[in-house]
Amino acid sequence: MVAIPASKVRAGSVPGTPGRRPGSEMIDVEVQLGAFEIDLLPFPDDPGRPPETGVTWREAAAACEQAGKRLCHELEWELACEGATGRVYPYGDRYDGPRYVDPLGVASAAGVRGMGALGEWTLEVFDRSDDPPRTVRGPGDLPGDESTRRCAFRSKREPRQSSAAVGFRCCRGARQREAYRAPPAFDRIEPLGATDAFQAVIRSVPELSELHDDPQVFTREDLQHVMHISEPAGATATEETTTTWLPVHWIPRDDAEYLVMTGRDGRDGFVVVLDFLPGGRYGLAAGLVLRGDDDPVMLAYTRNPRHVQWLPCVGCQDGGLITTDGDRVSISQRW
């Protein structure tokens, strides 16, 4: 077994990482883990024998228990794969497909081998549903490629199912207390509430050059103004709806994520939807300029990830919807 000291894992991936699954991966969050040991290879941890596959989650857990160990916490698996520096793949940040011809040649910084060569059961549930599936790390039944072999990639499988493409490896040590926390469908990006960061993002997108003069994010006071002029039926926020002046991280499906922003530039208001690109860059997915109208525009969303609403007043007929169909994003206007 390979000993991994207590350290922080950079759980998940950065928005814009090629192949990222935003609906199921954390956003590169540091999580403290206690020390543990992990098998050098997938079970039976013997370089002279092939990995044991075609087992259910319960059969894998029982095999580890019989060996005096346990299934690995999925964050233990991720830390052993990516190391303290948060590598995208066990061996670095660039995908190297030929390495996987010999899985024993795929070694992480910690010296753990074969990670990403096949799917591996882990201890945790994938989500908090009524009958939660278990988490598999590695490609499993999906094609092994630059997306599914990332250390952050995770998928789900019913615990009673088995597959010739899914095995497991065992760990030893006190059970980790931290649970994997995938992001909700919507999440405010608080740092972009700062004017300087907001301006930098808008000015980094060439297609938004007409908004580069003095782009300003709306404020909490603007939100209060919008709520004040709203119709009584919509003037009170509900538990199902969130209304905000801040940029919104929108995850309409597991393979798509956007940054939705409203603001003003001089006398023009605007609504823009940006793609996350590698290297912390942004691209324009859709945009709407409200020429000569700098009244505050807020964003509103529910737990339904299919659309985000933009509105100058709550409960009125003005505003519109931001929707997506495939890779296309549309901004509609109702007045």
Task: Compute mean pLDDT per 10 residues along the chain, 335 residues long, and list them.
Answer: 96 93 92 97 95 97 98 98 93 94 91 96 86 93 96 95 97 94 82 86 96 93 80 49 90 92 96 94 96 92 87 84 91 88
CA-to-CA distance for 300 and 319, rounded, in angstroms? 11
CA-to-CA distance for 216 and 201, rounded, in angstroms? 11
Q: Are residues 8 and 121 part of one domain?
A: yes
Q: How many domains does one find in the chain?
A: 2
CA-to-CA distance for 106 and 116, rounded, in angstroms? 8
Closest CA to 289 of 221, 215, 201, 197: 215
Q: What is the pLDDT of residue 111?
A: 95
Q: Quick check: is 179 in a domain?
A: no
Q: Are residues 284 and 214 part of one domain?
A: yes
Give the H or E element holding residue 62. Answer: helix 57-66
Q: Quick check: is 178 in a domain?
A: no
Q: Quick check: is 286 in a domain?
A: yes
CA-to-CA distance for 34 and 4, rounded, in angstroms? 9
Residue pair 262/270 in contact by the 8 Å Cβ criterion: yes
Q: Quick check: is 181 in a domain?
A: no
- Token pair, residue 233, equals 């039926």
Q: At 76, which amino acid appears?
A: E
Q: Are residues 216 and 140 part of one domain?
A: no
Residue pair 116/49 in contact by the 8 Å Cβ criterion: no
Query: SS3 letters for 207-232?
Result: HHHHHCCCEEECCHHHHHHHHHHCCH
Q: Are residues 163 and 31 part of one domain?
A: yes
**Number of neighbouring beta carbons within 10 Å of residue 86:** 20
CA-to-CA distance for 115 and 37, rounded, in angstroms? 15
- Token pair, residue 215, equals 């782009």
Site of tokens 């060996």: 67
* Dihedrals phi, psi of 332, to nearest 5 degrees: -100, 155
Q: How many helices (H) and strands (E) does the chain have?
A: 4, 21
Q: Are residues 168 and 197 part of one domain?
A: no
Q: Are residues 203 and 123 part of one domain?
A: no
Q: Are residues 319 and 222 part of one domain?
A: yes
Domain of residue 36: give its range.
2-172
Q: Are residues 128 and 225 part of one domain?
A: no
- Token pair, residue 327, equals 């890779």
Residue pair 74/135 in contact by the 8 Å Cβ criterion: yes
Last residue of a domain, one of 172, 198, 229: 172
**Non-local CB neighbours of 58 within 8 Å, separated by 6+ positions:** 159, 160
